[in-house]
A = this chain, B = another copy of it.
């Protein structure tokens, strides 16, 4: 049979079935989808490929899913570090946003972020930011898969004046991209402390109607919880429950302060968590009880948060930090196992975004969102276990090739849709503008 592309990999890690690491395995790609996964020898007899790619030293796995970021904040990478949270927000981040956010800021920043993500093996990201249409346009230009947050907050910005206007713009964006092969949308009420009851309730209803997820920052800091208790008499998660948001559509980022009861309740509901270990550390938000969530069978995805609080969109680094930190927090060296962390960065992310029918594993019929990682560098030798090597030792610069829906977006470290020299100039221009 004639097919588009045949990848011949030293190992394939399909994620499903669990624990599988298949040596000398081929992935057959046709019309953007995974047509077959089979032994390499057999594949070469069975398929004539327009394009056969030898990945002799590589592991092929599903593209990583960054389930919580603010892509355009790449322009604010390292803009202000090592500051108390409120100083950071009030004296640096918010004034810079107030002054600069615009369609251009978001488009340019997102393109930079897309280049960084593709170069690091991320093939899908979930975003939340102002001027979300520009985020979507930039992602579309890059060819990356994205779930764009229809951001809603109470306070005015250059993007919208009040919650109603944010929502109106969000719904227009949803309509605009309906049926798009790579761009999906989700509601994105910013956080319980920044969105009032009426828009939150409205979003709960709309999400059912449109059948899309709801993404929110939840239980990020102790302060958020104390304030909610004072203002509403309940903790933020309880308030969301009262407003009808605690459903399997809910995708909560951070979740650093949780009672055992809250974990049990959240698990029973079937809502999702996005763990952001590096941002939680950098802003001293608190420790997410990752292993407790996993033990309760909560679906936990992984996210980098924005580059202003990380300071990168490196999902390999994030996996490593998640695996290491889980052990420290649980006081148990068995917590946060490498293979669990890799699932968080792939299928769990897909599940949180409602895309697990399409991406997150290497299975026949799914979209060909794939990455190849060269493990032959000295820094990943010896290699007793490719999963462990990927999570604990591999560097994102070892990602050599990236495909999204079968399209070859990075070939041997060269991006095919984005001009790196142009992006560097863009970054330089914004740097001079923001901090002359």
Q: Which A residues from 337 to 374 make CB contacts under 8 A with B?
A: 337-338
Contact A281 B327 (CB under 8 A): yes
Chain A contact residues: helix, strand, loop or mixed: helix
A327's closest neighbor in chain B, by CB? B284
Contact A378 B333 (CB under 8 A): no
**A382 at the B interface (CB under 8 A):** yes
- Mark A54-82 against chain B: 1 for CB-CB distance below 8 A, else 0: 00000000000000000000011111011
A286: chain B residues within 8 A (beta carbon): 328, 331
A428: chain B residues within 8 A (beta carbon): 381-382
Q: Which A residues from 396 to 436 make CB contacts under 8 A with B?
A: 396-397, 420, 423-424, 427-428, 430-431, 434-435
A115: chain B residues within 8 A (beta carbon): 378
Interface centre among A79, A280, A324, A336 (most CB of B within 10 A): A324
Contact A332 B284 (CB under 8 A): yes
How long is the Cα–Cα vector from A378 to B88 in the complex, in angstroms?
24
**A153 at the B interface (CB under 8 A):** no
**A30 at the B interface (CB under 8 A):** no
A424: chain B residues within 8 A (beta carbon): 376, 378, 381
- Mark A271-297 against chain B: 1 for CB-CB distance below 8 A, else 0: 000000010111110110000000000
Count the copies.
2
A327: chain B residues within 8 A (beta carbon): 281-284
How long is the Cα–Cα vector from A75 to B53 in the complex, in angstroms?
31
Contact B382 A116 (CB under 8 A): no
A120: chain B residues within 8 A (beta carbon): 379
How long is the Cα–Cα vector from A394 to B327 in the complex, in angstroms?
25
Contact B395 A395 (CB under 8 A): yes
Name the one of B76, B116, B337, B385 contacting A378, with C-beta atoms under 8 angstroms: B116
A385: chain B residues within 8 A (beta carbon): 78, 81
A77: chain B residues within 8 A (beta carbon): 381-382, 384, 393
A283: chain B residues within 8 A (beta carbon): 327, 333
Contact A388 B284 (CB under 8 A): no
**A84 at the B interface (CB under 8 A):** yes
A282-B324, A393-B311, A427-B382 are known contacts. Are A388 and B81 too (CB-CB below 8 A)?
A: yes
**A190 at the B interface (CB under 8 A):** no
Contact B379 A328 (CB under 8 A): no
Minimum distance in angstroms from A93 CB to a CB of chain B: 12
A311's closest neighbor in chain B, by CB? B392
**A133 at the B interface (CB under 8 A):** no
Contact A324 B281 (CB under 8 A): yes
Name the one of B330, B378, B382, B389 contacting A284, with C-beta atoms under 8 angstroms: B330
Name the one of B82, B389, B423 contacting A337, with C-beta atoms under 8 angstroms: B82
Closest A-B pairs by Cβ, 3 of them: A382-B431, A281-B324, A381-B427
Chain A residues engaging chain B, CB cutoff 8 angstroms: 75-79, 81-85, 88, 112, 115-116, 119-120, 278, 280-284, 286-287, 307, 310-312, 314, 317, 320-321, 323-325, 327-328, 330-338, 376, 378-379, 381-385, 388-389, 392-393, 395-397, 420, 423-424, 427-428, 430-431, 434-435
- For the A-B complex with A79-B382, A284-B332 known, give 8 more contacts whose Cβ atoms are closer than 8 Å: A75-B382, A78-B382, A82-B388, A120-B379, A282-B327, A282-B333, A311-B388, A376-B424
